[in-house]
């Protein structure tokens, strides 16, 4: 963690033979003492000595950031604290008008994060209360002032929009308008949360300095609801740049439509929620332009488009033709699409330039069944899919994917509290 981040975001009775008079005197003395105690102590024992103070709480707490009376604090700041012997710890943050700021404790119980960016140039007061097993509370209070609105702000965007329904292989994609330096990525990722119903284990993966994606360990469960949030407003992103605003997106996962293409059989098998719903003859890439073997997802769908490959393949091999029912799989130009000119070869021989050719009838049917993010696995071709050539998040093993996280992976963690 850097300096600007630290602004941010603890005895026996009488002997036998003693004279009766002596024993009576002892009894009388005891009786007088008891009577005196009841009168002076209110019936509960001896009164406390004058000036004695109540025992201090066993719990202790101290606010570690922001520092007391700190100035120019990033608007993304959280409240971090150190509490000892605390059974319960609460944080209250008030704005200049005395209104309570909404927020929540982090999973580690050592910090608190507001639900949104704070106002620029405003003074806030934080109070942390720690209660011990004795029921007594210790408190710590700090005031601090946020920085003025920065001139350099980084835009944060999402590929998906609110309410969108996606396939079970859809990665969550967040992009930054400026490269995030490597030593700031852990701070940014720590402000990114994913909540799914039902909960599913997953992790963020930095694809590049300007893009980060999230995928669950296994395909999303059909029918899941997913919310992802980036608390980037006012967040330091290096070299005097700060996040422009927070970002929240709610999506839904549709049915589990999965396509598997086998070069050996020249067939595509389409399943819906685990059941086969159709088998389609296909023609894949010929030997000079083979299709890629690996797991991809549908990136975009174009009911009508034009393929123009003259720049890529040259005047001898290039072509320009109208295409129907195209579904993009790679950035390199591999699609599933209708190819009426190869219907005679589909199911028997590969004649395409790397695409998955299907008939007009099957292309129309398939186009109406799929969504963006539906997974497609091609097997048995001469070329392996290159990671990065499309949304290849599922072409990587889970262990490989975890390596792209800027934060340590916590096995078993669910999206409700990402690592």
User: How many other C-beta atoms can be found within 10 angstroms of the C-beta atom of residue 34?
Assistant: 10
* Nearest Cα to Cα of residue 363 among 384, 337, 343: 337
Q: For residue 146, list its beta bridge partners.
A: 73
Taken as a whole, the chain contains a residue count of 419
Strand ranges, E, within 54-152: 60-65, 70-73, 79-84, 88-94, 103-105, 111-114, 123-131, 137-146
Compute the distance between CA of residue 154 and CA of residue 41 in angstroms, rounded to an integer.
69
- Beta strand 335-338 with 320-328 is antiparallel
Q: Which two tokens stand for residue 305?
A: 């488009």
In the set 142, 205, 353, 355, the catalytic residue is 355
Q: For residue 410, list its beta bridge partners.
A: none
Q: Is 355 a catalytic residue?
A: yes
Compute the distance between CA of residue 413 and CA of residue 202 in angstroms, rounded to an integer.
7
In the set 142, 205, 337, 353, the catalytic residue is 337
Q: Is 353 a catalytic residue?
A: no
Is 80 within 8 Å of 64 (Cβ atoms)?
A: yes
Judged by DSSP in three states, 316 sits in helix
> Within 13 Å, how many C-alpha atoms sit on residue 27's CB side?
5
Q: Which two tokens stand for residue 419?
A: 């690592």
Compute the distance between CA of residue 231 and CA of residue 8 in angstroms, rounded to an integer.
12
Which residues, 6+ apart, have CB-to-CB distance to 252 below 8 Å? 163, 164, 165, 166, 223, 224, 225, 226
Judged by DSSP in three states, 208 sits in strand
Residues involved in catalysis? 337, 355
């Amino acid at each position: 963690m850097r300096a600007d981040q630290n602004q941010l975001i603890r005895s026996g009775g009488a002997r036998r033979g003693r004279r009766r008079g002596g024993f009576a005197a002892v009894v009388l003395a005891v009786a007088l003492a008891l009577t005196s105690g009841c009168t002076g102590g209110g019936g509960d024992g001896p009164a406390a000595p004058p000036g004695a103070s109540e025992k201090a709480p066993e719990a202790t707490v101290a606010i570690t950031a922001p520092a007391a009376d700190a100035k120019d604090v990033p608007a993304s700041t959280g409240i971090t604290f150190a509490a000892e012997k605390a059974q319960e710890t609460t944080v209250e943050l008030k704005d200049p008008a005395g209104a309570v700021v909404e927020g929540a404790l982090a999973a580690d119980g050592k910090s608190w994060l507001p639900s949104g960016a704070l106002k620029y140039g405003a003074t806030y007061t934080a109070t942390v209360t720690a209660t011990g097993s004795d029921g007594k509370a210790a408190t710590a209070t700090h005031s601090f002032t946020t920085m003025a609105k920065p001139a350099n702000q980084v835009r944060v965007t999402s590929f998906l929009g609110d309410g969108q329904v996606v396939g079970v292989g859809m990665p969550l994609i967040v992009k930054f308008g400026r490269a995030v330096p490597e030593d700031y990525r852990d701070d940014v990722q720590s402000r990114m949360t994913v909540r799914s119903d039902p909960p599913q284990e997953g992790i963020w993966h930095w694809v590049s300095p300007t893009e980060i994606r999230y995928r669950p360990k296994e395909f999303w469960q059909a029918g899941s609801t997913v919310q992802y949030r980036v608390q980037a407003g006012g967040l330091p992103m290096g070299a005097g740049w700060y996040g422009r605003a927070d970002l929240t997106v709610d999506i839904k996962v549709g049915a589990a439509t999965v396509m598997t293409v086998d070069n050996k059989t020249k067939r595509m098998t389409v399943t819906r929620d685990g059941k086969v719903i159709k088998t389609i003859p296909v023609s894949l890439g010929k030997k000079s332009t083979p299709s890629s073997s690996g797991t991809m997802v549908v990136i975009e769908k174009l009911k009508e488009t034009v393929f123009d490959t003259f720049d890529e393949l040259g005047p001898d091999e290039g072509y320009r033709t109208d295409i129907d029912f195209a579904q993009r799989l790679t950035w390199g130009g591999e699609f599933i699409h209708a190819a009426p000119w190869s219907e005679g070869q589909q199911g028997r021989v590969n004649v395409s330039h790397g695409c998955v050719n299907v008939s007009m009838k099957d292309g129309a049917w398939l186009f109406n069944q799929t969504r963006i993010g539906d997974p497609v696995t091609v097997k048995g071709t001469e070329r392996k899919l290159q990671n990065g050539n499309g949304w290849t998040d599922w072409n990587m093993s889970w262990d490989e994917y975890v390596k792209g996280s800027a934060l340590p992976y916590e096995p078993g963690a669910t999206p409700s509290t990402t690592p």
